[in-house]
Each structure stands twice: as structure tokens, then as C-alpha cells.
Amino acid sequence: MRGAQVSRTLAGAAPWLAVLLALAILPRLLPDWLGFLLTVAFAKALVVLGVAVLLRSNLVSFGHGLYFAAGAYTVGFAAKWLHLREAVLLIFGAVVVSGALAALLGLFLARYRGIFFGMLTLAFSMILYSLLLRLYWLTGGTDGMVTAPPTILGVVPGAAAGRAHYYLTLVCLALALALTRRWLGSPLGYLASAIRDNEIRVEYMGASVRQGIYRTYLLSGVLGGLGGCLVAFSVGHIAPEFSYWTQSGDFVFVTVLGGYASVFAPVMGSVVFELVRNYAYALSPYTWQMSLGAILLLIVLFLPRGLWSLLAPRAPVSSPWTSSSRR
Amino acid sequence: MDTLTLILLDGIAFASWLFLVSAGLTFAYGVLRILNIAHGSLYAIGAYTGATLAGLVLHSGANPFLAYPVLVGAALLVGLALGPLLERGFLRRVYDQEEVITLLLTFAIFLILEDGMKLVWGVSPIIVAEPYALLGQLPLAGVTYPVYSFLLTGVAIVAGLALWVVIDRTRFGKLITSVIHDREISAALGVNVPRICTVAFTGAAMLAALGGAFTAPMVSVTPGISADVIVLAFAVTVIGGLGNISGGAIGALLVGLLRATAIQFFPALDLFVVYALMAVILLVRPEGLFGGVEVRRI
Amino acid sequence: MRARSLSRWLVQGAVLLAIIASPPGRAAAAPAGAPPQVTIGIVTFLSGAASGPFGLPAKTAAEFWIEKLNREGGIGGVKIVPVVVDEAGPTDQVVTNYRRLVTDQKVDLVIGYISSANCTAVPPVAEELKALTILFDCGTNRVFENAQYKYVFRTAAHTGIDGIGAARYVLSVKPGVKTIAGLNPDYAWGHDSWDIFEKAIRKLKPDVTVVDTLWPKLMQGQFASEISKLQADKPDVIFTSVWGGDFVSFIEQAKPRGLFAQSLVVINNDGANVEELGHDTADGIALGFRGPHWISIPNPARNPLQQQFIDGYRARYKKYPMPHGSYHVVQALQGVKAAYEKAIKAGGRWPGVDDVIKALEYSEFDTPSGRIRLAIGHGHQAVEEAVYGTTRFDPQLGFAGLGGIKVFPVKCVNPPDGVKVVDWIEQGFPGAECP
């Protein structure tokens, strides 16, 4: 009985392990810039995942750049003031800072829905943006800060920094995906999509809509901070634009591009977006925005459920993100 | 005393501009429930077209005062050309979808138009300064004021009044109001909802272009002016209450005065105050200063 | 049908033959080990606010100058092939583009970056990838003051010359200045510009007081409130680092209100749009443009490279090359060419990247902006003269010309090697040689 369960779990996990293994050997096959691109795409996928969990409750965060910047500047300030360079500690710090920020702002935001939620998140992120810009002597203003490559568990990666960041990001992403998936399979996770369908009914069933949203927001903020921290590691430079509205807009764009019917959709969206944008830069340097806009237009008009709907065409919109075998 | 007068004058001048660039956004949201990111592009195209046409008039040796009607004409032209195109071609397809989809659609249009303008007008600035200086100066509160900023206030007031008359005093306005309240019932009652939507969006596009056209003589029309105006217009729209025209006017006035005050007393804060005000308003009165209470979905 | 396609084929074949048969445009035979071409990544703004004044002029100037160099034999007999990339985008995109240029498109070197933020972000990556990188236009003084790089050079002076030059110019044309005000875009370079100017003028004339420091948002375009404040406070001198769209908007809005008659306005960074402004320029503005890059400066009559640059550029694009993006990118190209050829001469064969770096460090080379020396930042940072003049409409040009031009020599406005510019100012400019 027990053995059967274990083997079933193993069988269920096998495809994911295979994917993970494939991703693990990928940087050996790819040129440097593609490896770097994947690192950045994976790190941003965390932020996109954060936007996506909110979108499951029909909340559009137009200010997730806030957490992206918070995570990144945690790295910057920890290096500047505390001379902290250890990746694990920095990740921990970014999670704590963005979590604390989300815990605070969530108190206000949990009351809001629809366009008001979006506008308030936008306002918060723009306040952070103007602070990062204004506190010039602290943050370097628009010049941003250079973040030196961190040590990973005490090891200085040196020449292998690119790959080290790739694996670090991959591990963080895998953990975050597993956790988010688990969370969504929990009663709280189901609550989030129930809120999307009918708030009043959720309240009548005895659950608190506000708390559901608050906790979802907390998770989404932490994911955003983690993503920002990892981007700071690999890119090595952070700037106030991380909190600008166009950055937040990109995250929403990628969420819709990938779709949000699965936790893996944001990863797919993020990778495709980075690839498309890079080829747009390389192939039409003078009109890359137009190429990007045209692709977005096509997706919005013809694939409003995102790229993931190509893979799972018959999945209903509000289908749970988790496999149906759970609970 | 002089400082106070300065704050009032500068605040009102800036508020007039803010109202012009945000009224269309407010109006489009009110009728179509679309937060149009491409509003900034329509503003920029209005500025480019206005600058180009006014430049042609001025270079042709005609009466330079003709430039002002030409600016208005340019705005109408842009609105008539692009409004129906965007609404019928794209927006109409996504009205029944979630807010995020419409938002992204307008973002896509924004990106395309951004490079489109570059292809048409290049990246060198288009400069027509003459209409700005033509009306002369007034000495006020120890400084000289260009009369043009009063003209801008005039244009803003006329645009606002026109909107009010159309919405509150005409049959068409009643139809718009019915569409705002309930699209399906209006359609069932025989209102041509698609037509109303097209006309409303065209009107909003004209307002955006009007804002741009009348900004053109004060600034250099260059790439990138669209992105900067959007967030500011969003902030004003939110402060006044989404979809509420008179609220938008008060919002613009509030932001204008606040910024003018900041520049006189705390110049380091001028960017910060706008967003801080936006956040505070959203926190205290989420529906904006004058917005109606949103009906909750059951 | 068939005949037409045949004839087209014939024509194409003939053209192809002509290309193959024509003597290669090589003045000298390429040295041993020479590659078929030198690929140069050129990163400059093709979109956004900086594309108009600096980005696109840099692109067109680079393309024009590379064609000219190729006609004259390229670099050491090898032709140059540019790969142009847009600099616009968030910092991670800029870094990805850089990595793609180096590792995928395999450029031999990168000439790029107008934004100071990008000049801060790229050098560490250049060191990691061991790729020769020439920063050509960005202003921030901190690139080589806070770090030392092997693979990164800047062939234009940093913004120290603009602030110090402005202070010296103000004191030479308005020695009695008592009150100053700042109107600078609210971003890092705007703060740097004001910081250097303010420190310099207060060092040179300690009784100067600051009456206003205004920080409009970058590309705000609306200066009515700021102009009111400046008119009410009536400073003797207004220092501003507005550029591009802001530069034009500021002039359009301040001119009718008489701000330029009331105060001496000093602009440290832009001459790019003076030609487009035409009649709408205001007279009496003290204008600087980050080095000696004006129509008459340094001096086309005595500097054949500048004459060729101006004539060729005008013939091709129907306008003058205006400061500073266009001049700066040509400086970078000239520096690279000189270094490669020096290294070829020294080694007798095609040089590796280390040889080029060795040849480029502390080198001097001729450009349309005069002779450029990589004299500071451990031989990686160029110094330039500072030039300021006062605008006056020139009916012959059809736009503003400059009068009362003052050229401040290199040692008057640049700190010595190894000294940070702000420290140099605060120590009272030790070792400065001014006329």
C-alpha cells in the first residue's frame, strides 16, 4: 500500500524530474547569451508567477515592479551597507523585505477589487520609483547600483558565475513552483479561485475573502521580491526602472502571454517573451517595439488564454492549477 | 502674496493642460470601461500632426493666427482617422473580455503606434514655437506670463463644457448615459450600442489629440512623449474618479496646484506629490473624489 | 517572361562579377592573420527621448564614417562591418543585448552607450566576457573613478569638463555673479552636472549663493512653474542640464517670457537641436556641448578630418553633424583604428585583444574634435577641451551661431590622472593650467 503510494508519487514526479534534468544540462548546450537570457527569464518568471496567482482571484497588479525593485534593492543595500555577499542570506533578506512590504500594503489592498486594485498597486510602485529616483545619494538615482556577483554558500563562483546564477535561479524557481503548486492545492489556494467566481458565496461558506486575498498578495509579493533579487544577481546592475510602470506592464503582459491555467505557464510565457524581445532587438533594431506590439496584439486577439492554451486546449478557464488527483 | 498668485497662475495653467490630456481618458473609461494606454499615443500623434500642419501654414506665409484653428483641425483629423479605426478594428473585439485583456490590447497598440510615429516623423524634433509667442505676454505678479497659457485654459474650459453639453443636454448624451448604465438593456431597447461606442471613442481620441496639438507649440515633439503623459493622465483620472468628467477637472486642478506649490516651496518633491496624492485618494476614497460607488458583483 | 528573368539574371551576374573583379578597397595589404572583416557592435539609442538629439545622429555619423574608413582601407586593410543595436530598454535587456553581440554575433569590439546607467551596468560584463568595449558618449564621471577596468575605455571626456567649463565661462563673461540657480532634470546625470558646476563656481568665487535648485522630471516638457519661480527669484546665472526635447521646450517657453534677458542661462549639454530650432533659438544663451564639437570648433580649416566630417555628413544627410553624439562616435572609431594600426605596426601581424588594449592605453589620436588623449583613468579615459559660447542668430546658417567662444584647455578643466573630479575641485584645482 505504502509502496504503491510512493511509486505513484514517483511516477507523478518523473516527468517533472525529466524536465528539470533537461534544464540542468541546457546551459552546456547553449551559447552564453542564451544561458543568460534563460536565467533572467526564469528569475522574472517568479514575478510573473506572483502576478498570475493574483490574477486567479481576478486581481490585476499593475505595480508588481514594486516587489521586483524591493528584492533587487535589498541586494544592493545589503552589499553597500552590510557588505553582505552571500546569496542564501541575500535571498532570505529579499524574501523578508518584500514579504514585510506586502504584509503592510496588503492591509490596504485587500479591500480593493478590479481597476481600483490595479491603480492602487500602480500608485504604490510609482511612489517607490520616485523615491529610488529622488534618494539619489542613497540609491545612485537613475544610474542605479552595480551589484557584485554573490558568493553561493561561501563559494566564489568566479569565471563560472553565469552558470552558477543559472542553477541558483533554477533551484529557486523549482522550489517556488513546487510551493506555489502545493499552496494552490490547499484550501487557501482553492479559496483564491472561488473568490474570482463569487465572493459573496465564499463569505457565506464561512471563509474570509479579505484574508484569502491578503495571503495571496503576501505570496505574490514574496515571489516578486525573490525574482528581483535573482535578477540583481545575474544582471549585476539595478535601476529605479525596476519599479516603473512599464516594467509592471511587462509582467502583466507576460502573464497573459503565458496564460495562468498552470503554474508552469508563467515560466513558458517568460521564456518566450525574452526570446521574442531579443530577436526583435536583433532583427529589427529600429522597430522592435512595433514587432513586439504586433505579437502582443495577435496573442490578445486570438489567444486570450495565453500560450499555455495551445498545450492544454480543452482545459476550462477556471480549472485548478493542480493535478486533479489531489484532494 | 505674489507667491500665492504665482502658484494660482501656474497651477491653473498646468491643470488646464492636465485636464486636456486626461479628459479623453476619463471619457473613454466612463463609456467603454477601457483604460486606454494608447491614449498617450493619440496625444503624441495629435502633437505631431498639429506641429506639422501648423508648420505648413506658418511657412506658407499665411496669417499666423490661422495656426490656432489648424491645431484644432489637426486634432479633429487625428480623432476621426484613428478613433473609428482603433475602436472598430481592435477594441470592439475584446469588450466582453476581462479588464486585463483590454488593457493589454491598448498596450499593444501603444507599442505599435510608438514605432509607427517614428517611421512617419523620424526622431528629430518637430518644432513650431510661433503660436506660443504670438499672443504676447502679460506682466503679472512680478513675472511675465505668456497669453498662450490662458488660451490653453480657455481650450480646456471649452472642451470640458462641450463634453458636458453633449452628455447632459443632448439626445445623444442620454443614449451614452444609458449605454454606460447597462449596455445590454440599452441594446434591447433599440439603442445602436456599437455606434455609440465608436462615436464615444472617437470623441475621446479627438480630446487626446487636442491635448497634444495644443501642447505642440510649447514643447519639442519628439519620440517618448507618449509614455510620460500616460501615467500622469492616469493619476489625474484616478484622483478625480474614474469616468467622471467634472471629477477629472477637479483632479487636474488639485494636481496642478499641488505641483505649483511644491515647486515654490519644496522643489525636490514635485514628482512625489502627484503619486502620493493618488495613493492617498485611492486609500480614502477609492472611487475618486467624485466617482460613484462601484456596484459589487454578486 | 523567360527572357526577362534571364536578362535579370545576367544583370545580377554582371554586378556580382564587377564586385568580385573590382580591386578590393584596401590601401595597404592586410597583415598576417588578418580576419576577413572587423565587426563592431554599435549600441546607441534608436528609440526614446535620447534617440533624436544623440542616438540617431551617432548612428548616422558612425555609418557615414565607417564607409569613409572602408573606402580608405578600413582598419589595417580590413574592412569594418557595423552591427547596430538599440540602446533603449531596461537594464537587463541592455546587458542581454551586449552579451548577444559579443558571444553570438561575435563582434570584435563594442562601441556604445549614451546613458550613464548603461555605462555603469556594462563594464563589469565586459570584463567577464573579456570584450573590448568603448563607451563613446555617456557622461558620468564615476566609471573610471570608482573602478579600474581592463577591457573598457571611454574616448570622450566625462562630464567634469562641462561643469568646470561652465563655471569658468560664467566667471569670464559675468565676473560679478552673486546668485545662481539650478534647473536640472531629476536623474543621476542631472544631479552630477549641478553638483560639479555648483562646487566649481563656489570654489572659484566663494561669495556666490544658490537661490534655487529645481529638479523637473526628465522629459517633463513643461517648465512654466519653474520659469515663474526663476523669474521671481531673479538669479544672475541659471545653470541647466536640460537636453533634447527638454532643451527645446525650455527655450520655447522661457524665451517669450524674457528669462534669457533677465539671467545668464548656461546649458552644458546640448547643441543637437540648434539647427532644428532655427529662428526659434534665443540669443544670449551660454551653450556648451561636452567637448570641442561645433561647426567652427575646433577649426575645420585647420582640421581636415573635421572638414571631411562636416562636408560628407552634410552631403549625405542634408544637415550639420551636431554635438555631441555624432562627434563622439567618430572619436571612438578613430581611437580604435589608431590603436589597431599601432598594434599591427608593433607586432607585425593582426593583433589580439590584449595588444589592442595595450596600444589604446594612454594613446593619442586625431579626430574631427581635434587630438584626443586617453590621459586619465589609468589611460582608459579621454580628456577634452571645454568649449562654451553665447548663442546669436546667424542669418547665414539659418540657426544660432556662437559668439564669444572660449576654449578651456585640457589641463584647465580635467583633473590629473588618478584624482576624482570632485576632490580636485574641492582641493582648489591643483595643477590646473588656464590661460
pLDDT of A3 strictly over 80: no
* CB proximity C261 to B under 8 Å: no
C312-329 residue pLDDT tens? 999 999 999 988 899 999
Q: Which of C96, C124, C188 sits opposite A146 (nearest CB)?
A: C124
pLDDT at position C5, please?
Answer: 47
Whole-angstrom distance, CA of residue B75 vs CA of residue B50: 7
Whole-angstrom distance, CA of residue C285 vs CA of residue A168: 55
Whole-angstrom distance, CA of residue A50 vs CA of residue C55: 36
Assess whether the region C31-158+324-383 and the region C160-268+270-295+385-426 belong to the same CATH fold. yes
Whole-angstrom distance, CA of residue C234 vs CA of residue B143: 10
C197-255 residue pLDDT tens? 999 999 999 999 999 999 888 888 889 889 999 998 999 999 999 998 899 999 999 99
Among C302, C284, C301, C251, residue whose Cα is nearest residue C389: C284
Q: Which of B109, B231, B298 sits opposite A126 (nearest CB)?
A: B231
The dihedral over CA atoms of B125, B227, B149, B2, expressed in degrees to the nearest 10, equals: -120
User: Which amino acid is residue C382, in one-letter code?
Assistant: A
Domain count, chain B: 1
pLDDT at position C154, please?
Answer: 97
All cell numbers assigned to C358:
595595450
**Residue spans per domain, chain C:** 31-158+324-383, 160-268+270-295+385-426
pLDDT at position B38, please?
Answer: 94
Under the banding of pLDDT at 50, 70 and 90, the label for residue C17 is very low
Q: Which chains touch B (3 or more CB pairs under 8 A)?
A: A, C
**Best of A29, A33, A288 to disrupt the C interface by mutation (most C CBs within 10 Å)?**
A33
A236:C189 CB<8 A:
no
Q: What is the mean pLDDT of chain B?
A: 88
pLDDT at position A113, please?
Answer: 83
Residue B290 resides in a domain: no
Interface predicted TM-score of the whole assembly (ipTM), two decimals: 0.87
* CB proximity B141 to A under 8 Å: no
How would you classify the pairing of strands C364-367 and C109-112?
A: unpaired
Whole-angstrom distance, CA of residue B37 vs CA of residue B53: 25
Q: Are A120 and A109 in contact (CB under 8 A)?
A: yes
Q: Which chains touch C (3 or more CB pairs under 8 A)?
A: A, B
Whole-angstrom distance, CA of residue C270 vs CA of residue C257: 21
A258-288 residue pLDDT tens? 988 788 999 999 999 999 999 898 888 888 8
Q: What is the mean pLDDT of chain C?
A: 90
Under the banding of pLDDT at 50, 70 and 90, the label for residue C25 is very low
Under the banding of pLDDT at 50, 70 and 90, the label for residue A10 is low
Chain C CA closest to residue A146: C121
B108:A120 CB<8 A:
no
Place of cell 453639453: B165
pLDDT at position A320, please?
Answer: 40
The dihedral over CA atoms of C252, C256, C257, C262, expressed in degrees to the nearest 10, equals: 100
Q: Three-state SS string across A57-84, please?
A: CCCCCCCCHHHHHHHHHHHHHHHHHCCC
All cell numbers assigned to C72:
580608405
B271:A130 CB<8 A:
yes
pLDDT at position B181, please?
Answer: 83
C-chain CB neighbours of A231 within 8 Å are: 92
A231:C92 CB<8 A:
yes
Distances (CA, A) of C373 to A105, A129, C49, C366: 54, 39, 30, 9
B104:A296 CB<8 A:
yes
Indicate which CATH number applies to the domain containing B183. 1.10.3470
Among C165, C359, C369, C381, residue whose Cα is nearest residue C267: C165
A274:C96 CB<8 A:
yes
**Best of C47, C92, C128, C130 to disrupt the A interface by mutation (most A CBs within 10 Å)?**
C92
Among chain A, residues having any CB pair with chain C shorter than 8 Å are: 31-34, 36-37, 40, 133-134, 136, 140-144, 146, 148, 159, 161-162, 231, 235-239, 241-242, 247, 274, 277-278, 281-282, 285-286, 288-289
C120:A146 CB<8 A:
yes
Task: Provide the shortest C-alpha distance from residue C123 to chain A (in Å).
Answer: 10
* CB proximity B287 to C under 8 Å: no
Under the banding of pLDDT at 50, 70 and 90, the label for residue C36 is very high
Exposed e or buried b for every residue in C122-136, given b needs 16+ CB within 10 A? bbbbbbbbebbbbbb
Beta strands in chain B (DSSP E): 137-140, 143-146
Q: Which of B143, B146, B215 sits opposite C232 (nearest CB)?
A: B143
A-chain CB neighbours of C46 within 8 Å are: 285-286
List, in sequence order, every residue forming a beta bridge with C153; answer none if it has no partner: C134
Q: Are C252 and B219 in contact (CB under 8 A)?
A: yes
pLDDT at position C392, please?
Answer: 93
Q: Are C374 and C362 in contact (CB under 8 A)?
A: yes
Query: Which SS3 state, helix, strand or coil, does residue A124 take?
Result: helix
Q: Are B16 and B251 in contact (CB under 8 A)?
A: no
* CA-angle at A309, arms to A308 and A314, nearest 5°: 135
* CB proximity C92 to A under 8 Å: yes
Whole-angstrom distance, CA of residue C420 vs CA of residue A121: 41
All cell numbers assigned to A287:
522597430
**DSSP conformation class of C321:** -
**Residue spans per domain, chain A:** 30-244
Chain B, 21 to 60: residues with Cβ < 8 Å from chain C are none
Chains B & C: contacts with CB separation below 8 Å:
140
pLDDT at position C16, please?
Answer: 47
Chains A & B: contacts with CB separation below 8 Å:
120
Among C52, C113, C87, C18, residue whose Cα is nearest residue C245: C52
Distances (CA, A) of A272 to A53, A62, A229, A307, B201: 20, 21, 21, 9, 33
**DSSP conformation class of C114:** -
B166-184 residue pLDDT tens? 988 899 888 988 888 888 8
Which stretch of A5-19, A298-312, B40-54 has the lowest confidence by average pLDDT? A5-19
Q: Are C235 and C212 in contact (CB under 8 A)?
A: yes
B145:C257 CB<8 A:
yes
Q: Are C289 and C387 in contact (CB under 8 A)?
A: yes
Exposed e or buried b for every residue in B75-105, given b needs 16+ CB within 10 A? bbbbbeebbeebbeebbebbbeebbbbbbbb
Neighbouring CB atoms inside 10 A of A156's CB total 12
Among A99, A104, A196, A69, residue whose Cα is nearest residue B279: A104
Give the highest mean pLDDT range of A30-39, B224-233, C248-257, C361-370: C361-370
Chain C, 10 to 69: residues with Cβ < 8 Å from chain B are 46-49, 51-53, 55-56
Under the banding of pLDDT at 50, 70 and 90, the label for residue B273 is confident
Q: Are B239 and B289 in contact (CB under 8 A)?
A: yes
Give the highest mean pLDDT range of A104-118, B135-149, C168-182: C168-182
Neighbouring CB atoms inside 10 A of C263's CB total 23
All cell numbers assigned to A299:
496573442
CATH superfamily of C31-158+324-383: Response regulator (3.40.50.2300)
* CB proximity C189 to A under 8 Å: yes
* CB proximity B235 to A under 8 Å: yes
Tell me which CATH code domain C160-268+270-295+385-426 carries.
3.40.50.2300
Chain C, 24 to 83: residues with Cβ < 8 Å from chain A are 46-47
More confident residue, A175 or A316: A175
Task: Provide the shortest C-alpha distance from residue A18 to chain B (in Å).
Answer: 34
* CA-angle at B235, arms to B230 and B239, nearest 5°: 150
B-chain CB neighbours of C214 within 8 Å are: 263, 267
pLDDT at position B293, please?
Answer: 46
C298 preceded by cis ω (within 30°)? Answer: yes
Task: Provide the shortest C-alpha distance from residue A46 to chain B (in Å).
Answer: 19
B-chain CB neighbours of C263 within 8 Å are: none
A-chain CB neighbours of C97 within 8 Å are: 278, 281-282
Q: Domain of B52?
A: 2-284
**DSSP conformation class of A192:** H
* CB proximity B112 to C under 8 Å: no
Whole-angstrom distance, CA of residue A165 vs CA of residue B92: 45
Under the banding of pLDDT at 50, 70 and 90, the label for residue A93 is very high
For the four alpha carbons of C152, A287, A143 and C328, in that order, the dihedral sign comes to: positive
Residue B239 resides in a domain: yes
Q: How many helices (H) and strands (E) does chain C have?
A: 15, 15
Which stretch of A110-119, B149-158, C291-300, C316-325 has the lowest confidence by average pLDDT? A110-119
Q: Quick one: what percent of chain A has pLDDT higher than 90?
A: 42
Residue B204 resides in a domain: yes
Query: Which SS3 state, helix, strand or coil, does residue C180 take?
Result: strand
User: Which amino acid is residue A276, in one-letter code?
Assistant: V
Which stretch of C106-110, C234-238, C297-301 has the lowest confidence by average pLDDT? C297-301
Among A118, A53, A65, A110, residue whose Cα is nearest residue A224: A65
Place of cell 463609456: B31
More confident residue, C236 or B247: C236
Burial of A151 (0-12, 13-18, 19+ CB in 10 A): middle
A290:B114 CB<8 A:
yes
Mark residue B141 as left, alpha or beta (left: phi above 0; alpha: psi -120 to 50; beta: remaining): left
pLDDT at position A323, please?
Answer: 36
A-chain CB neighbours of B275 within 8 Å are: 123, 126-127, 130
B112:A297 CB<8 A:
yes
Q: Which chains touch A (3 or more CB pairs under 8 A)?
A: B, C
